[in-house]
Structure 1
Amino acid sequence: MNIKKLFSIFTLVILVFATACTNKSEKATVSDTNEKPKEEIKIVEPNGAEKTKLNLNFGVGKLNISGNEEKLMKGKFIYSENEWKPEIKYEVKDKDGELEISQPGLKSGNVSLNNKRNEWNINLNEKIPTEIKLSLGTGEFKADLSKINLKELNVGMGVGKVDLDISGNYKNNVKVNIEGGVGEGTVYLPKSIGVKIKAEKGVGAVNANGFIVEGENIYKNSQYGKSKNSIEVNIEAGVGAINIKQK
């Protein structure tokens, strides 16, 4: 890990501890009222797209992503403040779709939800070839991409707990890049497809029980080099642990 990246990790650790030590008068909080959270259902049609890219930026709260959707995307968004309303943009050019979901009004940082809710439940199309980029803030994140027609996945883990399932029986090669944050991440990978992991360890640890270890930072499963398709995973561990499991 180069000096710049290592410095960034230590800076992030300092910020987390500084946030924990900040008193309530200095901490940005959201007032606690009895107002019922807003709830919206949003649907995005493919509009002729033969492949898509999803860029998702999530601030603070809970995020759940899975498949089982005939449309391009169906999302249920629950939020307590009007300014937390998610922005959804989608366009198609030359049959290539690009979907962006973001939340400019709520960003990760020195923020307490204070019993407020901010929750996204997103279902994605399982047939259209898809590249996904997840930029995660603070909270709990769960993404089951085992049924998605996944081509590439890029994840910035942020602060909190992340469960990432990419254990599907994919019909193509899949490229995965994971940048660890602060907290614990669990990544599920398939036994039936060849998997190679290159792990660049930071302050945290990479646990890959059941994989064949080559050198200091290469892990392979028993199917790597034997199966028709493979998954190549690059991990930059942050602060905390990334646990790799097969299923």
Structure 2
Amino acid sequence: MKNFIPLTILSLFGAGVLMLTDCSPVQAQHTTSQSLDLKNVKTLQADIQINAGTLKLTAQNTSKADARFTYSKDAWKPQVKYNGEPDKGSLSIKQPEEKNTNMKDKDRNEWNIILPQGVATSLKLRMGAGESNVDLRGARLTRVVMDAGAGEFNVNLANTSVSELDVNAGVGEVNLDLSGKRNTDLKASINGGIGSLNLILPRQTGVRVKVNGLGGLDSNGLKKQGGYYVNEAYGKTPHTLEITINGGLGSVDLALEN
């Protein structure tokens, strides 16, 4: 089924309903609101790409995926596509490609996206320059792939079911929270860039971390065991976090949750 929907038109999909509205509340500023009903969807593939700006992504106890975009330039209008099959959905939200996304002081490109907490989701995030606040605590995640460019990136995956995590950090600061209860094993690969990587780890679930790279390392609360850093629960719990960090030229800070 063709999947791009003109604004102000309500279309029915096999797995959901996507509604879009567009308005320009102030000069040189546009706002687009969107809502997707996923009450019949059991698994979701979500691909989100923002070239520059501010991203806020959360998971809530709802059957809908909602989004609101505010942007200064028409060329930054997100491209939204959805494919729905019985029990399965595929959602793509992307900023149009351009050679350089130059943002001036008065420019805005702000994305606020809400995903349903109870839908098993495989998520791909590609974030360019700017600030990202991703709070998916408690979400039914299966896999997360994240490419971070330049800026500050705050990602909270506490108490999630994610079993596969791949992170590529660029220039700036990445704060990643993997704390909380686990009902699955986690295999994570994190490639650090130039800047700082701050990782919060659980106390009650076994953790083993391998760190490669030339940057500085703080391993607060973890002990060295062979070529790894482990917590007190390692080898004693039903599930384990196995994490490999390639630190790049930045600093790595490992800390156990409070």
What TM-score range do you get, normalising by the shorter chain?
Answer: 0.7 to 0.9
Q: What's the secondary structure of 2:75's corresponding residue? A: helix
Q: Which of 118, 137, 147 is equivalent to 2:138?
A: 147
Q: CA deviation at 1:103?
A: 0.5
TM-score norm. by structure 1 comes to 0.73
In structure 2, C-alpha distance between the alignment counterparts of 1:194 and 1:72, rounded to whole Å: 34
Alignment of 1:174-185 (within 5 A): 174-185=163-174
**Residue deviations 1:38-93 (CA, integer Å, cap 9, x gap):** 12221122262211111111110111111115134111211111111111111133
The answer to whether the aligner puts 1:194 opposite 2:194 as a matched pair is no
The answer to whether the aligner puts 1:73 opposite 2:65 as a matched pair is yes
TM-score norm. by structure 2 comes to 0.70
Runs of 4+ in 1 over 6 A off after TM superposition: none
Q: CA deviation at 1:159?
A: 0.9
Pick closer, same or farther for the CA change 1:246–1:90 going to 2, 3 Å.
Answer: farther
CA contact (8 A) 1:89 1:101 kept: yes
**Residue deviations 1:174-213 (CA, integer Å, cap 9, x gap):** 2211112111111112124333434443x65554432333
Two-structure CA RMSD over aligned residues (Å): 2.6
Unaligned runs of at least 5 residues, structure 1: 1-33
In structure 1, C-alpha distance between the alignment counterparts of 2:240 and 2:84, rounded to whole Å: 29
Name the counterpart of 2:221.
210
Q: CA deviation at 1:125?
A: 0.7
CA contact (8 A) 2:210 2:243 kept: yes
> Larger RCO: Structure 1 or Structure 2 (Cα < 8 Å, ≥ 6 residues apart)?
1
Name the counterpart of 1:165.
156
CA contact (8 A) 1:179 1:237 kept: no
Name the counterpart of 2:31.
39
The answer to whether the aligner puts 1:224 opposite 2:234 as a matched pair is yes
Q: What's the secondary structure of 2:107's corresponding residue? A: coil
Richer in helix (by share): 1
In structure 1, C-alpha distance between the alignment counterparts of 2:101 and 2:28, rounded to whole Å: 24
In structure 2, C-alpha distance between the alignment counterparts of 1:93 and 1:103, rounded to whole Å: 25
Alignment of 1:45-56 (within 5 A): 45-46=37-38, 48-56=40-48
In structure 2, C-alpha distance between the alignment counterparts of 1:58 and 1:197, rounded to whole Å: 30
Richer in strand (by share): 2
Q: CA deviation at 1:162?
A: 1.0
Quick one: percent identity of the two aligned structures? 26
Q: Number of residue pairs matched?
A: 209
